[in-house]
Structure 1
């Protein structure tokens, strides 16, 4: 039975984008211009904190001490260097006292104290050549930064017989923000031209290569505006600027890569620009939406943690992923309608195609990936075991992880605030600013305070206890541990102090770097099961809706997790243990900031699912078309291997550019995610996935009857596709009604026998279609094989 061919039916969204492309671009340009204005000052409103649990005991104690005893929580330090003279020299002491009085008179500064006022040994270097003036800047982070900018020129530098350097946590965070902003600008200047070169290599056409880059720039500008809007609602970490800008650029380019490629395929098949865009949006566009959803789900899991650092990146990340998809689905289609065939202009590969046409044998597109899949599947047990063992081995260093807190050692060694903190760490007794503080609330006698102090001093690993400093019904004690903040002994000391709270005659709360670390680890540990469960459940559901299989979603989760092992192993071996620190230009603190593994897992898992969905959808489509599981796996890798690799390399370039940052955490974030993306695309998708799917065989697609019915009703089914036009612009028939057993059939509307087809490569069909259209079969190495085109006639691809 024959069918009457009808023109493609465009949905409402497609009509909106393609009917008035100039208007769509004008609106997009206007919104982008507004985004430039709205996001112009975003960097100044971001914070470098947010690592703490706002409901933790240490957070409560810190705020209470800042309110009741500002001198106990200095966040600004002036290091007075007397050179070869002692800090007790009368001339040095006189100048230091004058600087102390000047600092105390500054607006926004409180709690000023110095070695020359108190004589405290902790404020004097052991060699007697440096001493400290401590103070507290008041207000929120923006206010404190403004105060620091105002007073720093007045105090930094030489004053008579002394030299002054600025340190303290406020100076560290402010310098970190400044460096990150500078590094981000440099990273963009590195990433954009390199990305353009890679896109030209992938597309050949300079015009086609520029389109994804334009979409990426739109995504960056929109990202800044989104982050600026979020700062009005919540604290947003400065690290969100790096990560979301990189993801906005990388994903926008990836999505545009998929869409431009599919559009060119439709044009090469003879479709006019509007019809080509309509088909592209129904196929590759659907992939982009599904892909963005999977990434957003992984990022959303960070919102379950209490730290504003993770929450802000979750909110910003979700918005940026959706923005990248929107830019690819709105700006790009409108531009493609207007460009039409000119999208192939400035094709730099014409020379090479002529050489092949003059005598070289035609090369099947994706043949290398197809052969790789076949080779792997013939040795599936070996590749499955070897690849899994190798990935697990790479991840073993993570078993030795030591969690810590971000401090001045994140900064380059030349940063002034780090120089000050390093001097304090090495040359001053104990660890000023790194001890523990105990807030005691409730009226007590002097004897009760003394007894409590003796109990604390008797605990293991306590160097000394200072205090109490009493003000009405509140008091505080300063406890100096023997070890460093990240030492287990110091964390055990926090637990021991808190365990004595029940016996104290007053309410006690412990804070300080060690207590904050303990509370942060507990908050991460408490939120981790929920976050992992959320990712797992939603991922299982999404992949099931895509494939209708019970086993494939489980495989996807396990294989995605394996793809991250190299990233986590490198995190410890390189950044915690300090290997390659000289080459990469950082100093190891001997620990990993507690929240970073969570952040990197959520982002890397989402990106891994991004590529996994693209591969699985192609495999599933081919399996539905042929019923041949092995051929479907081979076909899926052949059709997507090059594209996934190109997309991964481009995203890795963006992440590596971020990894050139001079701030260690940003460096680890960028380089770690680049490694995870490349491992996923080149090892997991190329070797492990085909090996495992070959071992599971046809059982891969099994689902119980109730779930099959659920998928038939709610799954991501393929709708009606648009028939392609011939080279002369007339509509061609949909797929031939072919008998799957005999391979024969009648082409609709003609009554003639169609060209022979195969369930594998579709070479026979390709040859005949090329003859009919007059197209060069090697006109573009990026075009899909005609087996895919036949499938496109039958149904709308999910994968694009």
Structure 2
């Protein structure tokens, strides 16, 4: 049917992609990153919502204005600068301004009784250790009425002020993500075209995966924009769609075009060649997309918007990539026919034909025979190497998300670094407790730990200052102590550190279900494709080994700080909590992707009557070069994330890239042929009752 309607399909696809381009690109302005890493049911979120409702303002300061005084804080110049910045922060959309000296309300009123902490000595927390810098805190009302824009306009002409805090960090992260995507595309597309030109040995063929990739990305952006109308999506999902869409489009195009060429070289006309390609490579592409989508869909069980957005975006992207590869691409192949090899020098065309003839004398055939002659040695050495690479993962430490993920030149990062390094523990990130309004909380507050300053009681909340920096071991221990103090009324503890602890608890609670879904769907899909119960289990074990090695390398590089100079990042000496979960799902799906391509070809050859060993050797020969180059292209497509300025996006790009490289080299080139040889005909074993459940 596709061959008969090939031109109509191409024209319809062109119209759909153009419409998608117009409708999809506004998605960058509609998606955000606010509270992306929170579980809505967490105690810290409950506390934040309660404080928001009680006060009509945000629970923590919205703006942190760092002021370089150029003189001691108590000097006339210091007081004049503080007063000038405080006046600039006053706005109808601002609930309160906290400064060195009196607190200034949103209506401009001041009061000596309103001093921070109830007395002047507490104000010293707003003063740097050298006494020549300070910061002011502005807390926005729930409806800020454009306060941020007006404050920016008033502060723009004041050279000694830098604005940071939550509203600026969120905005700058979103802008940086968009810039990172644009830069990754500018880097990736030219490199990918040059490499695909070399891989496909034809200019016409090299353009096909890029066309499929552009269509996939635009349609995925449109799909995520539609989903966002019903359930908010994270802007970070666009990074994954960009890299994954391009990578899968190249993978699927490479397998489809290679098989089409192979069928043409075997003497079939283009209609018959296209039918054979869809029946074989098309079937494998469909299974691959379902496998990748299922692996990423496991992320949907998590409550954090960052993770479930990645799951939704990645699953949609995989399915759309397969849909485009099984409709638009075959239609283009049907139109091109033999011209699919056009646009390359004669020696490239001769190489294509030569590879088709030399199946039993090619590199991958000889290599697989060599591995299968010593299967125990190669299997043991490969497993030991992967486990050794994974050992650093046992020392992993976790951290959360704050302004420190931004580049050093962003104002929110400048302010965050200054507050952390130059000031004592302070109120930029307080530990707060939501309490019933009107309740007698004095006796409860008196029992709370207070190593830095006495608790500050307000209507509906109690504010505490934790020792150490937010997310530090001291701060986490402090939050646990606060939560352990019994209260005679309902109360919830919130703040940045409390939210981080809740996030870790939420991830631990949902991880078993996600892993069960991922493992079960992978086993079922591979069982249906291979008609074997052994091969899916073996694929699962090999994926775990390759992921173990990838995790270890991520810890070695980003936690321990190796290659900082090369990848241009400042180590946080920890890994963002959600990254292992996300990396596991993405890398697992892509690893299974390559396993599907190889196992699909081996099964096809075994079903044709070849022995287990010959099917493995010939299958590796027919897919070895394709899988190797597909992995290299995927590494570039997703590996370009390492150019991102947001460190956890950089971690994702690096982790997926090394996982794909390990899978395409050590696993597919060494472990697969060795284990296939060791298991022999047991590879294809399936119990009779299960076999009857499968379609013929």
Q: Aligned partners of 2:509 and 2:31: how far apart in 1? A: 27
Distance 1:399 1:695, change over 3 A: same
CA contact (8 A) 1:619 1:632 kept: yes
Comparing 33-42 with 89-98, greater Cα deviation is found at: 89-98
Question: 2:129 matched to 1:126?
Answer: yes
Q: How does 1:350-389 map to 2 (within 5 A)?
A: 350=347, 353=350, 363-364=358-359, 367-389=362-384
Aligned to 1:558: 541
Query: In structure 2, the residue corresponding to 1:544 is in which secondary structure?
Result: helix
| 2:320 matched residue in structure 1 | 323
> Aligned partners of 1:165, 1:543: CA distance in 2, in Å?
55
Distance in 2 (alpha carbons) for counterparts of 1:355 and 1:218 = 28
Q: 1:456 aligns with which of 448, 461, 484?
A: 448
Please give the per-residue CA displacement for 1:113-158, whole angstroms capped at 9, x wherever unaligned. Answer: 2223245222221222111221134559xx89x7545542431453
1:498 aligns with 2:498: no
Q: Which moved more, 1:260-269 or 1:73-82?
A: 260-269
1:246 equivalent in alignment to 2:243: yes
Distance in 2 (CA, whole Å) between partners of 1:575 and 1:203 is 35
Give the corresponding residue for 1:189: 186
**What is the deviation of 1:477?**
2.2
Indicate which of 517, 535, 543 corresponds to 1:534.
Answer: 517
Match of 2:287 in 1: 290
Structure 1 residues 575 and 565, CA gap change in structure 2 (3 angstroms): same
Change (3 A) 1:123 1:248: same
Residue 93 (str. 1) matches residue 82 (str. 2): no
Q: Which residue of 2 aligns with 1:152?
A: 152
User: Taking structure 1 as reference, are residues 104 and 355 closer, same or farther at Cα in structure 2, changes over 3 Å only?
Assistant: closer
Q: Distance in 2 between matches of 1:666 and 1:404?
A: 14
Q: What is the rounded CA distance, in whole Å, between the counterparts of 1:595 and 1:187 in structure 2? A: 22
Please say if residues 363 and 621 of structure 2, whose CA atoms lie closer than 8 Å, have aligned partners that are also in contact: yes
The equivalent of 1:342 in structure 2 is 339
Residues 594-615 of structure 1, C-alpha deviation per residue, up to 9 Å, x if partnerless?
1111111001100011111111
The aligned residue for residue 709 of structure 1 is 692
**Residues matched between the structures, number:** 676
Deviations 1:265-323 (A, max 9, x none): 22223333233222222221111111100000001100111111111111111111111
8 Å CA contact 1:464, 1:479 repeated in 2: yes
Judged with a 3 Å threshold, the aligned counterparts in structure 2 of structure 1 residues 435 and 655 are, in CA distance, closer, same or farther, namely: same
How far 1:366 sits from its partner (Å)? 7.3
Indicate the residue corresponding to 1:214 in structure 2: 211
The within-5 A match list for 1:641-720 is: 641-711=624-694, 714=695, 717=696
- The alignment partner of 1:506 has SS state of coil
Residues 1:114 and 2:99 are matched in the alignment: yes
SS in 2 for 1:115: coil
2:551 corresponds, among 568, 577, 582, to 568
* Residue 364 of structure 1: how far off its partner (Å): 4.2
SS of aligned partner of 1:477 = strand
User: What is the match of residue 48 of structure 2?
Assistant: 62
Alignment partner, residue 478 of structure 1: 463
- Cα shift at 1:230: 2.2
Give distance in 2, aligned partners of 1:104 and 1:318. 46
Q: Could you say which residue in structure 1 is the equivalent of 2:106?
A: none
SS of the residue 1:441 aligns to: coil
Matched, 1:466 2:455: yes
User: Residue 24 in 1 paired to residue 9 in 2?
Assistant: yes
3-state DSSP class of the match of 1:478?
A: strand
Contact 1:123 / 1:131 at 8 angstroms: preserved in 2? yes
Unaligned runs of 5+ in 1: 1-14, 718-800
Q: Report the counterpart of residue 107 of structure 2 in structure 1.
A: none
Rounded to whole Å, the distance in 2 between the matches of 1:47 and 1:343 is 42
Q: Distance in 1 between matches of 2:404 and 2:610?
A: 58
Contact 2:386 2:546 in 1 (8 A): yes
> Are 2:240 and 2:313, in contact at CA under 8 Å, matched by a contact in 1?
no
The whole-number CA distance in structure 2 between the counterparts of 1:355 and 1:401 is 47
- Structure 2 gaps of 5+ residues are 104-119
SS in 1 for 2:614: helix
Aligned partner of 2:88 among 102, 113, 134: 102
* Selected match of 1:434 from 429, 433, 439: 429
- Return 415-424 or 70-79, whichever deviates more: 70-79
The answer as to whether partners of 1:404 and 1:486 remain within 8 angstroms in 2 is yes
Residue 300 of structure 2 corresponds to which residue in structure 1?
A: 303
Residue 138 of structure 2 corresponds to: 135
Aligned to 2:564: 581
Residue 94 to residue 72, structure 1, CA distance change in 2 (3 Å)? farther
In the alignment, the residues of structure 1 paired with residue 53 and residue 73 of structure 2 have an alpha-carbon distance, to the nearest angstrom, of: 32
Q: Secondary structure at the match of 2:345?
A: coil
Cα distance between partner residues in 2 of 1:363 and 1:375: 17
| SS in structure 2 at match of 1:135 | strand
Using a 3 Å threshold, how does the CA distance of structure 1 residues 20 and 72 change in structure 2: closer, same or farther?
A: closer
**Structure 1 counterpart of 2:595, from 566, 590, 612:** 612
The answer as to 2:427 corresponding to 1:424 is no
Equivalent-residue separation in structure 1 for 2:652 and 2:211 (angstroms): 25
Q: Which moved more, 1:598-607 or 1:375-384?
A: 375-384
> 1:392 corresponds to which residue?
387
Please name the residue that 1:407 is paired with.
402
Contact kept in structure 2, 1:409 and 1:587, CA below 8 Å: no
Distance 2:168 2:352 in 1: 62
Contact 1:97/1:116 (CA < 8 Å) preserved in 2? no
Aligned to 1:722: none
- State the alpha-carbon separation in 2 of the partners of residues 184 and 670 from structure 1: 12
Return closer, same or farther for 1:282/1:627 CA change in 2, 3 Å cut-off.
Answer: closer
Structure-1 separation of matches of 2:357 and 2:265: 17
Q: Which residue of 1 aligns with 2:222?
A: 225
Q: Distance in 2 between matches of 1:584 and 1:29?
A: 38
| 3-state SS of paired residue (2:220) | helix
**Whole-angstrom CA distance in 1 between matches of 2:611 and 2:352:** 36
The corresponding residue for 2:111 is none
Q: Deviations over 1:315-343 (max 9, x none)?
A: 11111111111111121122222222221
Residue 409 of structure 1, CA deviation: 1.7
SS of equivalent to 1:597: helix
Specify the SS of the correspondent of 2:291.
helix
* TM-score after normalising by structure 1: 0.81
Query: Contact 1:156/1:166 (CA < 8 Å) preserved in 2?
Result: no
Alpha-carbon contact 1:75-1:137 (below 8 Å) kept:
yes
CA distance in 2, matches of 1:98, 1:710: 77
The structural deviation recorded for 1:102 is 3.2
Using the TM superposition, give the Cα deviation of residue 209 of structure 1 relative to its aligned residue in structure 2, in angstroms: 1.0
Q: Tell me, in whole angstroms, the C-alpha distance in 1 between the residues paired with 2:480 and 2:351.
A: 75
Distance of 1:709 and 1:547 partners within structure 2: 14
Say whether 1:77 aligns with 2:64: yes
Alpha-carbon shift at residue 181 of structure 1 (Å): 1.0
Shift of residue 400 of structure 1?
1.1
Structure-1 separation of matches of 2:197 and 2:417: 47
Q: Is the 8 A contact 2:91 2:147 kept in 1?
A: no
